[in-house]
Structure 1
Amino acid sequence: MKALIKAFIAPRVYVPLGGNSPSLLDHDIIDAKKTGTVDDRGEYKLSVKFVSYVGLSSSVENTWDIDVTPKPSRVNEYLIKKVERTAKGL
């Protein structure tokens, strides 16, 4: 397994580079929709754009739908409930 190479962008903040799997370059929540409530907090479907690259190839953009639910006994923390690749508009 290849060693992880780190590119530092600020003190104690780094972006992992290299390795055997795709590297995440950027992500952005492009849409969100409330789908229900749990413990008076919302469940949401998020449409998230990821920019990644594999090896030495050019970057690739993918959009995924991610369903999240509130984390029990944690304020403002959510758990991923479901992920679907190639999201459509919400």
Structure 2
Amino acid sequence: MHPIKYLWAARAVVYKMTFGRIGNMTYIGRPTFIEGRKNIYIGNRVRVFPGIRMEAIGNGTIKIGDNTAIEQNVHITSGGGYTLATM
């Protein structure tokens, strides 16, 4: 694994305290913006590359399934109901 990904994995461990859920073997690159963390659920073995912008506004919920890769500079928003990202 590339050395920077160890930092990303450590970031995911810290985020586990504020997100709805972050699964095992998940790593998260440096985000640009994250809002509504308690309504964001991330599965196991998820790779989130740098530049992610996630917004769970109001009752919005974002669920990212297992074995998913989200590439650089992606914007995911949910204002109500669910936004799902799966492979």
* TM-score w.r.t. length of structure 2: 0.23
Q: Whose strand fraction is larger, Structure 1's or Structure 2's?
A: 1
Higher Cα Rg, which structure: 1
Q: Which has the higher contact order (CA 8 A, sep 6+)?
A: 2
* TM-score w.r.t. length of structure 1: 0.23
Q: Whose helix fraction is larger, Structure 1's or Structure 2's?
A: 2
